Amino acid sequence: MKCNKGLCLMLGMVIMLSMGSSNLYAQVRERLLMNFDWKFAYGHAGDVARDFNVGTRYFTYLAKAGYADGAAAPEFDDRSWRPLDLPHDWAVEQGFAPHASHSHGYKTVGPGFPENSVGWYRKNFSLPAEDEGKRIFLEFDGIYRDARVWVNGFYCGNEPSGYASFAFDVTEYLNFGGENVIAVRADASMEEGWFYEGAGIYRHVWLTKVAPLHVPQYGTFVTSSVGEKQAALTARVEVQNKALEVAEFELVNVVLDPGGQEVARKSAGSFRMAPMERRTFIDSLDVADPLLWDLEQPHLYTMESHLLQNGATVDIYRTTFGIRTIEWTADKGFFLNGRHVKIKGTNNHQNHAGVGTAIPDALHEWRLKQLKAMGNNAYRTAHYPPTPALLEAADRVGMLILNENRLMGTTDQIMDYLGRLMVRDRNHPSVVLWSIGNEEWSIETNDRGARMAEIMQAYARRFDTTRPLNAAVSGSWGGGISSVIEVMGYNYLRHGDTDVHHERFPWQPSLGTEEGSTNTTRGIYFDDAERQYLAAYDRDTPTGFFAIQHGWKHYASRDYLAGMVIWTGFDYRGESTPFTYPSVLSYFGMFDLCGFPKDNVYYLKSWWSREDVLHILPHWNWPGREGEGIDVWVYSNMDEVELFLNNKSLGRKTMELNSHLSWEVPYKAGTLKAVGYKAGQRKMTRVVETTGAARQVHLRADRTEIKADRRDVAVVTVALKDRKGRTVPDANVLVDFDISGPASIIGVGNGDPTSHEPDRFIPSYLRVEPAAWKEAPAGGLDVAAAVRPDYDDKSWGAAFPEEGLAPGSQAEATVFRGRFALTREQLEGEITWMFRSIGTGQSVYLNGHLLAEGLSDEQKRHTFSLPAEHLSVGSNTLVIVAHPYVKNHVWDEPNVNPGELQVVLPAGQWQRRTFNGLAQVLVQSTGAPGEVVLTGKAEHLQDFQLKLVAQ
Ligand code: GAL
């Protein structure tokens, strides 16, 4: 075929555009997950020397670009640090102490624990030479907290917030075709919240590679207006020209339906942008017969924004979005796609058993699914921007998100966090409400609060007008923030009268942003103040918080109230109200910290879900209480329920809407049976039986297959069963876990609020610094004697004098002697000397045994694994015979540190007690495919082997 140049160019363009865009996408844009193979070590919040001397050098990183020192320097020797993968929460690995923070669950991090409050992370990575010319961004989804970041010794900046996502364009700092180092310092000394917040890089890290002309991160905003048979999309696409030349380009937006089929394509036009210019282009596209994003069928569309230069695609940016309508009304509540949806929600913190805040993506999804199965349709991200992974899961699962800002404030710097949250999250169809703040006690009731709310709302409208703004207010409703906020959030009915407020502010949509705050312990049915357990019956609290049923009846019976959001879906660490230490978890959850349902879940499921529910509480193992009246409750959405004890009817009762039934039953071992009737017909039966003693460990995973991707997780329930296979509801037994195959255990839990058992069993990485180095010239010494540990070196001077060897001087052979001490426990570990050359022609000895000789200075680092048979408890001696480096210029800094020892103590046995019959094990792929076997063992009980497949 013959064609002129223009036509050929056009054809080429068409071909490139239609050649499976996923192929093309991979060619123009890469987003690499940077979670694997980091190094970690504790720094120090109050002692620079123990914080790797960062910022101590003459001319440091704030003085000159690329001048990082200590652990921030690229050449820093991190070989003795602990290797790990992200996400990571070091607080969850700490123990507990009574004087530690109540808010943070008494973990030994924060004020009073400077040695546990700073964490350093380093990662090496190489970049291919072909990446030269691309722009490269380092993106953090969130670090707790006050993060400082360096790349190859260049200081990139800091992010004080423990919840904000942030990114740096690090292109100029990188070595293309070479090695690169990221260093991150996180300082968790301060608390941002009054709840457990974790510590460290507890969310994902990414490296994004794009062309100089590209759509920046979060650079798009797709909105839709939904008509009869089509949706009109508005695409706002920001383009950035980071080239040094003017860029001429065409922007083409392509819409893919949930199946990946192209359903719309349009050129937004051809444009010219100056170097460093950033501009937003607005275009409209139509989608015929759109599949709406909804709770049951959360259809997701993708918009691809293609940038073309001279006919070639230079960037494709993908935006996942949903087509749906939302409406918040003052008198009828909330509407999704024109359909009334009562908000049935829970508040939740990012916190789970075993892993703390470092929740893998699969676990986020699992948690949302537990909530969803309860009939929960909304999730308030109390009280901070969530991790993007949670929103992606909510988009997929079909969950409404009430997305909350952390701190209220009206300075540019503080308000900017709200703007960044909105820009980051505004394409998620799951997000239906923005919250500017929660219970801001000093301002919520007064005029200052009202003014601040107005300013924040006006500011927020710059970023999104498709969702309204909310604040959660805990009192003095009618004044302050509550008088101006677009969607009123009531925190707790005990604080006021929603009817009165609604009458005064009839224009204002509203919902219960918090209700509940009741305190229960899973599997406990008698309060036990001494052991700090509270019965799982749904009750008003002595401090005036309403029972879940009490609160729900209020919210369910008023149309103007959009719904109720319970405090909380899951228990979390910290806030162990009404107790203090030794209790370390909250008691507010409908589910415990592991996601095991407490009985309230069945109350909610009865009235929130469409499933038939019939649930009896308590369990029926009450030896010693024979004849005693026990409160038996039934949660159900049947019309009537009849209860039987050992086949004797205790009466048939009619269920009232949004209520429960109860009987007082004199205890006698045997069977409690509930029979549920609908429209007079027997519909379902449930039994609770007195079980026998625990006989076997039983393991069950949420699924039998996980992806072999080093990320995917199976959630394993450990249950103790009796001879008949019934879970024993009061069995508290220590279970050991072993795993083989390509997976590892990443955490264990049991939901017991007073348990101080470890969540993680990991090797300890200790660093032992040889000290008291002395030196003497080798000439005139009996070197063979001087390398022995018992040699008397009292008369020797301190090694490595400040001034070093003068320029031009001869480096005489010198003997250096240093010492380190080991405890008996440390001697059990693996001990490695991370040796660093201090000169040329080095021979190296441990307690008189030669480790190596003739080491040149060319390879400056050597690793010596120190054999246990040559080590002793107490003092050990290291000797180096070498020609030390000469200091040729005053600014020369020859190495005078022969390196430290790494002592690795093996991880303890993975284990956990069951709490009221249950425990949990989180199993994560280690990357390879294969069969995984998890074994659970307990004394006197039958073992269990669970098989999973990683592929
Ligand atoms: C609320 C607060 C929540 C939680 C709860 C406990 O006042 O907003 O974060 O602390 O009390 O009852």
Residues 744, 948 contacting (CB under 8 angstroms): no
Question: How many CB atoms neighbour CB 549 within 10 A?
Answer: 21
pLDDT in the model for residue 682: 98
What's the mean pLDDT in 555-576?
A: 98
pLDDT digits (tens, 9 = 90+) for 325-368: 999 999 999 999 999 999 999 999 999 999 999 999 999 999 99
SS3 617: strand
C-alpha to C-alpha distance for 61 and 153, rounded to whole angstroms? 8
* Cα–Cα nearest to 630, from 600, 667, 661, 660: 667
567: which strand partners? 347, 516
- pLDDT, residue 10, reads 39
903: which strand partners?
766, 831
- Alpha carbon nearest to ligand 1 atom 3, residue: 567
Q: Which two tokens stand for residue 430?
A: 């799951």
Of 93, 514, 642, 775, the catalytic one is: 514
In this prediction, residue 803 has a pLDDT band, given cuts at 50, 70 and 90, of low
101 Cα: distance to centroid of ligand 1 (angstroms): 16
Residue 77 CA to residue 132 CA, distance in Å, equals 27
Task: State the average pLDDT over residues 683-689.
Answer: 98
- The CA R_g of the chain, rounded to the nearest whole Å, is 32
pLDDT at site 16: 43
H or E segment and range at residue 418: helix 412-425
Which atom of ligand 1 lies at the shortest distance from residue 193's CA? 9
Residue among 404, 406, 543, 567 to mutate when testing ligand 1 (max atoms within 8 A of CB) = 567
Q: Which two tokens stand for residue 678?
A: 């609908």
What pLDDT is stored for residue 812 in this prediction?
85
Average pLDDT rounded to a whole number, residues 276-295? 98
pLDDT the model gives residue 620: 98
Mutate which of 514, 540, 570, 586 to test ligand 1's pocket (most atoms within 8 Å of Cβ)? 514
Going by C-beta distance under 8 Å and a sequence separation of 6 or more, which residues neighbour residue 96? Answer: 105, 106, 107, 108, 581, 582, 584, 756
- Atom index in ligand 1 nearest the CA of residue 383 equals 9
Q: Where are the domains of the chain?
A: 5-17+216-321, 34-210, 345-608, 622-689, 696-753+908-950, 765-905
Q: Pick from 408, 440, 517, 548 the residue to mutate for probing ligand 1's pocket: most ligand atoms within 8 Å of its CB.
A: 517
Of 848, 846, 766, 839, the closest CA to residue 809 belongs to 839
- Token pair of 829 as six digits: 């570990």
Question: Residue 1, Cα to own-chain centre: how many angstroms?
Answer: 57
Give distance in angstroms: CA of 383 to centre of ligand 1: 10
User: Which atom number of ligand 1 is nearest to the Cα of residue 567?
Assistant: 5
Please give the CATH superfamily to which domain 34-210 belongs: Galactose-binding domain-like (2.60.120.260)
pLDDT at 613 (0 to 100): 98
Kindly tell me the sign of the dihedral angle through the C-alpha atoms of 655, 661, 665, 671: positive
Q: At residue 574, does pLDDT exceed 70?
A: yes
Cα separation, 817 vs 783, in Å, equals 12
Percent of the chain at pLDDT above 90? 93
Measured CA angle at 529 (ends 525, 533), to 5 deg: 45
* Binding pocket residue ranges, ligand 1, CB within 6 Å: 194, 382-383, 438-439, 474, 491, 514, 517, 567, 575
Which residues, other chains included, contact 851 with Cβ-Cβ below 8 Å and sequence gap of 6+?
833, 844, 845, 864, 866
CA 103 to centroid of ligand 1, rounded, Å: 11
Distance of CA 772 to the CA centre of its chain: 43
Measured CA distances, 919 to 88, 521, 899, 914 (Å): 22, 14, 43, 5
- 439 as an active site residue: the answer is yes
Amino acid (1-letter code) at residue 33: L
Is the CATH code 2.60.40.10 the one for domain 5-17+216-321?
A: yes
Contact predicate 385/421, CB 8 Å: yes
Q: What is the pairing mode between strands 661-666 and 301-309?
A: unpaired
Mutation to probe ligand 1, out of 435, 439, 572, 577 (largest number of atoms < 8 A from CB): 439
Q: From the CA of 382, how far away is ligand 1's center (Å)?
A: 9
The verdict on domain 696-753+908-950 having CATH code 1.20.1740.10 is no
Q: What is the 3-state secondary structure (H, E, C) of 64-83?
A: CCCCCCHHHCCCCCCCCCEE
Nearest CA to ligand 1 atom 2: 439
Place of tokens 């797709």: 222
Catalytic residue among 192, 439, 486, 900: 439
Q: What is the pLDDT of residue 893?
A: 80
- Whose CA is closest to atom 6 on ligand 1? 517
pLDDT value of residue 878: 98
Query: 931 catalytic, yes or no?
Result: no
Spatial separation of the C-alpha atoms in residues 932 and 699, rounded to whole Å: 13
Atom of ligand 1 nearest to the CA of 439: 8
Between CA 743 and CA 932 the distance in angstroms is 6
Ligand 1 mean position, distance from CA 202 (Å): 23
Phi and psi angles of residue 552, each rounded to the nearest 5 degrees, phi first = -65, -35
Atom of ligand 1 minimally distant from the CA of 194 = 10
**Region of poorest pLDDT, from 18-27, 124-133, 428-437, 877-886:** 18-27
Of 441, 575, 587, the residue with max ligand 1 atoms within 8 A of its CB, to mutate for a pocket test, comes to 575
Predicted local confidence at residue 351, as pLDDT:
98
CA 104 and chain centroid, separation: 15
Band of residue 19 on the pLDDT scale cut at 50, 70, 90: very low
pLDDT of residue 804: 66
Do the strands 830-836 and 82-84 form a parallel or antiparallel pair, or are they unpaired? unpaired
Scanning the structure block, which residue is given the tokens 């460290």? 200
Report how far ligand 1's centroid is from the alpha carbon of 553 (Å). Answer: 21
Domain covering 345-608 assigned CATH 3.20.20.80 in the classification: yes
For ligand 1, atom 5, name the residue with the nearest CA: 517
Q: Per-residue confidence at 880, pLDDT binned at 50, 70, 90?
A: very high
CB atoms within 10 A of CB 744: 15
400 close to 380: Cβ distance less than 8 angstroms? no
Sign, CA torsion 595/393/107/40 = positive
Examine the pLDDT at 894 and tell me if it is beyond 60. yes
Task: Tell me the average pLDDT across 913-937.
Answer: 98
Mean pLDDT over each residue of the chain, to the nearest integer: 96
In the structure encoding, which two tokens stand for residue 873, read together? 């408890």
Give me the sheet containing 830-836, strands edge to edge: 764-768, 901-905, 830-836, 861-866
pLDDT band at 11 (very low <50, low <70, confident <90, very high): very low
CA–centroid distance, 193 to ligand 1, in Å, is 11
How far is Cα of residue 443 from the mean position of the Cα atoms in its chain? 30
Residue whose token pair is 């009731």: 445
The DSSP-derived string for 835-887 is EE--EEEEEEEETTEEEEEEE-SSS-EEEEEEPGGG--SEEEEEEEEEEEPB-
- Please write the tens of the pLDDT for every residue from 492-538: 999 999 999 999 999 999 999 999 999 999 999 999 999 999 999 99
Q: How far does the centroid of ligand 1 lie from the alpha carbon of residue 239, in Å?
A: 42
Reduced 3-state DSSP string for 623-667:
CCCCCCEEEEEEEECCCEEEEEECCEEEEEEECCCCCCEEEEEEC
Q: How far is CA 573 from CA 190, 283, 303, 440, 930, in A?
A: 17, 47, 39, 22, 35
What residue's CA is closest to ligand 1, atom 11?
517
d(CA 293, CA 323): 6
Task: Please provide residue 282's backbone torsions phi and psi, each rounded to the nearest 5 degrees.
Answer: -110, 130
Convert the pLDDT of each residue in 818-858 to its tens digit: 999 999 999 999 999 999 999 999 999 999 999 999 998 77
Asked whether the predicted pLDDT for residue 1 surpasses 70, the reply is no
424 Cα to the center of ligand 1, angstroms? 26
Domain boundaries 765-905, corresponding CATH code: 2.60.120.260
By the 8 A CB rule, do 508 and 485 touch? Answer: yes
For residues 506 and 471, the answer to whether their CB atoms sit within 8 Å is no
Atom of ligand 1 at shortest range from CA of 438: 8
Domains 696-753+908-950 and 765-905 share a fold: no
What is the dotted CATH code of the domain comprising 622-689? 2.60.40.10
